[in-house]
Amino acid sequence: MSSAEPKNKGAVKGGNGKYIFNLPTLQRMDAGVGYSSAEGPVVEGERIQVGLISMKSGTGARPHTHPNEQWIYLLQGKARMSVDGQPETIGGAGTLIYLPANIVHYIQALPGEDVVFFTCKDMSHGIMGKAVDGTMAGPHIDQGIVK
């Protein structure tokens, strides 16, 4: 393994003798500063980064992109999502989402229950993307939801 330093501030670096992780107990980090409420522990390898990410009920990501491809597997809660301008879909535990590089997408937790998902991204870029509108105006928050 090359670098002992993670690419993402707050992530844990795998390798160099560290190979097994209790993901839910690791330090949490913001995974979408400026455009998403996503946060949770992230572990990086040399080519893949993984995270156990949460979004509070009624919050989530505004439309955004990132230059690395991503997989999301919903473990808990229900979310609305759209990928590449396709119609919005509601998904729950067991839903698998494929996000090609540089494709506009969003995922937002429905009111009533937090969303938890496992995610994998290649290491060509960090865990965070960039909002399509170019602002760092914060995450999506449903009307009536108190931060």
Angle subtended at Cα 39 by Cα 69 and Cα 125, rounded to the nearest 5 degrees: 30
Contact criterion met (CB below 8 Å) for 137 and 32: no
Which residues have C-beta within 8 Å of that of residue 102, sequence separation ≥ 6?
Answer: 65, 66, 67
CA distances, 146 to each of 59, 68, 108, 141, 142 (Å) = 10, 32, 15, 8, 9
pTM score: 0.94
**Tens of pLDDT along the chain (147 residues)?**
456 789 999 999 999 999 999 999 999 999 999 999 999 999 999 999 999 999 999 999 999 999 999 999 999 999 999 999 999 999 999 999 999 999 999 999 999 999 999 999 999 999 999 999 999 999 999 987 765
